[in-house]
């Protein structure tokens, strides 16, 4: 038998910062939803896609081939990245706009398929888990980076709905675009992301599936918040 007085029942558990993991395909609206959920709760926010974009940009600037796995992984491990308010910095350069360029997105998708690069970014992503909590946006937040997250959401929408959203964004920015090309693009990218060998895009078994095809951003934010509260 143990001696001494038992712990009082009201003793709070050690503070492990909660994580809300939000995964899903591109243009599903998850970035906007994740940011708003973080703001509503006063939580930290991790845009993990930005780390892959920064890695690609860093490699491109250094003249490193994007399929040179060892060198790109070293750059990923050393990434001089800073996030400040809404701005993203690579060393002393503001790259907020640059990392959103199509070419950098394509490069990000290439480097994200390299296991050594994913491994190099693992600890950096985990380090965002700080009090009072974290909303993490990505493809493998609930499956690989934060498998013990108390709340996981897999946010998706039909390829047509996502293509239409992307189409509107491009037109608003004064670009030309073809809706049918964008739908084909989304479908090809979905197939590639879901079938890649390392960290394929797939919902965690315990994720809430949220299909936003017929849902606006506000409703999606409310659904994520309700899910999180139900898990407390
Ligand atoms: O979400 P995004 O478009 O910024 O992501 C950029 C690329 O990085 C995209 O090809 C998917 C990939 N990515 C990933 O493989 N794992 C993550 N956790 C986040 C993004």
Per-residue pLDDT tens over the stretch 191-211: 878 888 888 889 999 999 999
Pocket of ligand 1 (CB under 6 A): 26, 48-49, 52-53, 105, 108-109, 112, 138-140
Q: Whose CA is nearest to atom 16 of ligand 1?
A: 139
User: Which of 28-42, 171-185, 212-226 has the weakest average pLDDT?
Assistant: 171-185
What's the confidence (pLDDT) of residue 12?
A: 52
pLDDT of residue 185: 84
Arithmetic mean of pLDDT, 140-165:
95
- Nearest C-alpha neighbor of 27 from the set 156, 211, 113: 156
What are the start-end ranges of the H helices in 2-158? 30-41, 48-62, 69-78, 102-111, 115-126
Average pLDDT on 17-25 reads 96
Distance 40 CA to ligand 1 centre (A): 24
Contact yes or no for 20/149 (Cβ under 8 A): yes
In this prediction, what percent of the chain has a pLDDT beyond 90?
A: 75
Centre of ligand 1 to C-alpha 115, Å, is: 14
pLDDT given for residue 87 in this prediction: 94
Kindly report the protein residue whose alpha carbon is nearest to atom 11 of ligand 1: 109
Q: How far apart are CA 79 and CA 101, in angstroms?
A: 19
Ligand 1 atom closest to the Cα of residue 109 is: 10
53-92 tens-digit pLDDT: 999 999 999 999 999 999 999 999 999 999 988 899 999 9
| Statement: residue 10 has pLDDT above 80 | no
Atom of ligand 1 nearest to the CA of 31: 1
pLDDT-above-70 percentage for the chain: 94
Q: What is the arithmetic mean of pLDDT over 110-136?
A: 96
pLDDT of residue 166: 87
Task: Report pLDDT for 27.
Answer: 86
Instruction: Report which protein residue has its CA nearest ligand 1's atom 1.
Output: 49
Spell out the residues 6+ positions from residue 169 whose beta carbon is closer than 8 angstroms to its own: none
pLDDT at 139 exceeding the cut of 80: yes
In whole numbers, what is the pLDDT of the chain averaged over residues?
91
Q: What's domain 19-226's superfamily in CATH?
A: P-loop containing nucleotide triphosphate hydrolases (3.40.50.300)
CA 83 vs CA 36, 51, 91, 169, 178: distances in Å: 17, 10, 11, 24, 33
pLDDT higher at 86 or 160: 160
Q: Among 52, 116, 128, 188, which is best to mutate for testing ligand 1, by the most ligand atoms less than 8 A from CB?
A: 52
99, 112 contact by CB (below 8 A): no
- C-alpha 52 – ligand 1 centre gap (Å): 6
Mean pLDDT of 30-34: 95
Q: 189 alpha carbon to ligand 1 midpoint, in Å? A: 11
Question: Residue 4 pLDDT more than 50?
Answer: no
Q: For the CA atoms of 55, 61, 66, 71, what is the dihedral angle to 10 degrees?
A: -70
């Amino acid at each position: 038998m143990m001696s001494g007085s038992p712990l009082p029942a009201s003793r709070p558990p050690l503070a492990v910062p909660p994580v809300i993991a939000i995964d899903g395909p591109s243009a599903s609206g998850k970035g906007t939803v994740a940011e708003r959920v973080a703001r509503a709760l006063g939580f930290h926010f991790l845009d993990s896609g930005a780390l892959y974009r920064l890695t690609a940009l860093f490699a491109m600037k250094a003249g490193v081939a994007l399929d040179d796995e060892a060198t790109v992984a070293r750059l990923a491990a050393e990434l001089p990245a800073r996030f400040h308010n809404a701005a993203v910095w690579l060393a002393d350069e503001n790259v907020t706009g640059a990392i959103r360029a199509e070419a950098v997105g394509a490069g990000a998708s290439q480097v994200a398929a390299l296991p050594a690069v994913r491994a190099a970014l693992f600890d950096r992503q985990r380090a965002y888990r700080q009090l009072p909590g974290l909303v993490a946006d990505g493809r493998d937040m609930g499956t690989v980076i934060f498998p013990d997250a108390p709340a996981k959401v897999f946010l998706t929408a039909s390829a047509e709905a996502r293509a239409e959203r992307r189409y509107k964004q491009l037109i608003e920015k004064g670009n030309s675009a073809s809706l049918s090309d964008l739908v084909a693009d989304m479908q090809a990218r979905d197939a590639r992301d879901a079938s890649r060998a390392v960290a394929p895009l797939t919902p965690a078994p315990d994720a809430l599936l949220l299909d936003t095809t017929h849902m606006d951003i506000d409703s999606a934010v409310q659904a994520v918040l309700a899910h999180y509260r139900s898990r407390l």
